[in-house]
Structure 1
Amino acid sequence: MTDMKIATVGVHVLDTHVIGIESIPDGSDGQLVETIRMSPAGTAGGTAVVLRRLGAEVLSFGAVGVDPVADTLLALLEREGVDVSGLVRKADHQTSASVIPVRPNGDRPAWHCIGANGAFTLDDLDRAALDGITHLHLGGPEFLGGEAAGELLAHARSLGAVTSVDILAPGDPDLLAWVAAALPHTDYLLPNDEQVLGFTGASSLADGARALVDAGAGCVAVTQGSKGALVVTADDVVGVPAYPVEAVDTTGCGDAFSAGFLRGLSLGRDPAGAARLGCATAAQVAQGIGTDAGTYDLDSVVAFAG
């Protein structure tokens, strides 16, 4: 099996999922719910967990606070086998956290605190710790800014690593301008459909993704929820369908897609084949609560993908 040693850099969050929310109680009233569950999440942290389950060696880099939220998040990541030695503690910031009330129909609004993710800089990352990586995945380049993100990605490439980027913020042309300097150093950009259309103002996903390729990204693999993914390069546009499953909670499905896609690349798949593994991985996560839902591994996901 192809070795994969990946650095997942950037956004780490502790998600608290509350299942069975029909409404917010009036006044100070209470309400019983089905489940309250915590899970590691974020465009770096959630992707790290899934990559580890798919057999990759994973080193996480980012910032957390000095608080019980960090203790819980680090424990959950370590339980999955993620190396958390690159996560620095910031005494003057709380750990990033979200509370996600999941409605019976699957809708999942969220309350989110950016916390220490907003304080992470390149000075917090020991570059020597990146030696030997085969991949670097940057989740949330907007917190570093395009220049710093580009510097990190260029360094990873100088080590021979494949680079990938997942932007957390909603699609907006100003946000794209803020991170544009990172795109020429990005082998694989992994946005969702709303981001692509928002960043570019394009009338179709394919046109929007092509615009991002023109801006420097080597390949753009766009997630489209239940519609699957669209993989766009300078030469090709390929649609990859989602796998039909009974979805319980779609939180973390984008991070799971990223993990499966990157693991597929490490195994020698072409981008479309990697996207199929990404969609199959997302399907596992959708059937449970949180990014760490389920008990799948690489063999079972490959078998599921067919």
Structure 2
Amino acid sequence: MSANDVVSVGLHIVDVLGRPVTEIPPGQGMRRIDEIAITVAGTAAATSVDLARLGVRVESVGALGDDSLGGFLRQKMLGEGVGCAWLTEHPGVPTSATMLPIRPDGSRPALHVVGANAMLEADHVPWSDLAETTVFHLGGTCLLPRLDGDPAARMLERAKRRGLITTLDLIPTGDTDADLAALLPVLPFVDYVFPSHEDALSLAGTGDSAEAARFLLDAGAGCVVITKGGDGAELTARGGGGLRRPAYDVDVVDTTGCGDAFAAGFITGLVEGASEETALELGLACGSLVATGLGSDAGLTDRAALTRFMATTPRRHQERTSR
């Protein structure tokens, strides 16, 4: 039996990124760019790496192909200190991967292979290894076809019965009906859900973030934490309490993995028994740091460096507001 503060279940992806990309050349043309990287990514895997760098004991649960990309992902995560005993390999299925041409402003389109992530099931969760676990994190709802909907709901309900704090990150596909079918059954068993601003608005069918948060709370979530990029983040709790905090003022290189890093920072606060305000601040700092370099593993190195960053980096907006 292994000892873990967090079990992180869901998407495991290898990203191949290049920057800056202003256009895709026609035909067989070529353009020179400044940088190419290959990284661990995905709303479970990247979050696990960030947690390990922050000193949190984490076990990652996911599905890989029996291929070179899967070998890279496993070895990289092991090197970061992530528990990988529950990463399963599936012959004949490729490891999930994404090609990301990063624009000069840090935004990026994506070319994605679903691959082995489609094989992940609730039975892969190591329930016997959760004796010391504090947080059960599910990352990738809407893109986990064998887990989305009722299977994930039963899994999170089981985690709740064991007294674990449950957190959820999601990646909507843009098919609102299908996305809601994947998401709504699980929300009654989720303590903290981390949608992006755009995704929250789209799922709720509204242009107002407060209404979007209320939609997710009414569906059963315990607390909604909406990430808003350069505009920071806002937390809305059941019962009406809320917090709004500004982002850190950094030069954005690439936004890949910022949401995963935010989740890792917030979860670190939960593991440490910190207040929701402190967890929110940790999440914002982690997300901001990752935006300063290329890929999901950029910027965030360890807890000491994160603390220095938080103490010395100004905010984009200095006011601290609550509602």
Structure 1 segment 185-200 matched on structure 2, within 5 A? 185-200=189-204
In the alignment, does 2:265 pair up with 1:260? yes
Which residue of 1 is the match for residue 125 of structure 2? 125
Kindly report the root-mean-square deviation, in angstroms, between the aligned alpha carbons of the 2 structures.
1.6
2:101–2:108 CA contact under 8 A, matched in 1: yes
Can you list the C-alpha shifts for 1:177-227, whole angstroms capped at 9, x where unaligned?
A: 332111111010011011111111123101111111111110010100110
Where 2:84 maps in the other structure, the secondary structure is strand
Percent identity (aligned):
38
TM-score normalised by length of structure 2: 0.90
Deviation at 1:295, TM superposition (A): 5.2
Could you tell me whether the CA contact under 8 Å between 1:101 and 1:109 is conserved in 2?
Answer: yes
Whether 1:167 aligns to 2:178 is no
Deviation at 1:132, TM superposition (A): 2.3
User: How far apart in 2 are the matches of 1:117 and 1:228?
Assistant: 30
Structure 1: distance between partners of 2:4 and 2:60: 14
Which residue does the alignment assign to 2:160? 157
| Contact 1:60–1:83 under 8 Å retained in 2 | yes
Q: Which runs of structure 1 show a deviation greater than 4 angstroms over 4 or more consecutive aligned residues? A: none
Q: Which residue of 1 aligns with 2:100?
A: 100
Given that 2:254 and 2:292 are in contact with CA atoms closer than 8 Å, whether structure 1 keeps it comes out as: yes
- The alignment covers a number of residue pairs equal to 304
Contact 1:170–1:195, Cα closer than 8 Å, also in 2:
no
Deviations for 1:133-161, whole angstroms, at most 9, x for unmatched residues? 11110012331122111111122222221
Which residue identity lines up with residue 27 of structure 2 in the other structure?
Answer: G
Show the counterpart of 1:251. Answer: 256
Stretches of structure 1 that go unaligned for 5 or more consecutive residues are none
Equivalent position amino acid for 1:212 in 2: L
Name the residue aligned to 1:216: 220
Structure 1 position 170, deviation (Å): 4.1
Deviates more, 1:30-39 or 1:122-131: 122-131
Residue 37 of structure 1 corresponds to which residue in structure 2? 37
8 Å Cα contact 1:131/1:159 also seen in 2? no
**Is the contact between residue 5 and residue 271 of structure 2 (CA under 8 Å) also seen in structure 1?**
no
Structure 2 alignment gaps of length 5 or more: 312-323
Q: What secondary structure sits across from 2:85 in the alignment?
A: strand
How big is the shift at 1:96?
A: 0.3
- Alpha-carbon distance between aligned partners in 2 of 1:275 and 1:295, rounded to the nearest angstrom: 16
Contact 2:286 2:300 (C-alpha < 8 Å) held by counterparts? no
Contact 1:10–1:138 (CA under 8 A) maintained in structure 2: yes
Q: 2:191 is aligned with what amino acid?
A: D
Of the structure 1 ranges 291-300 and 40-49, higher mean CA displacement relative to structure 2 is found in 291-300
CA distance, structure 1, for counterparts of residue 127 and residue 271 of structure 2: 22
Whole-Å separation in 2 of the counterparts to 1:170 and 1:65: 22
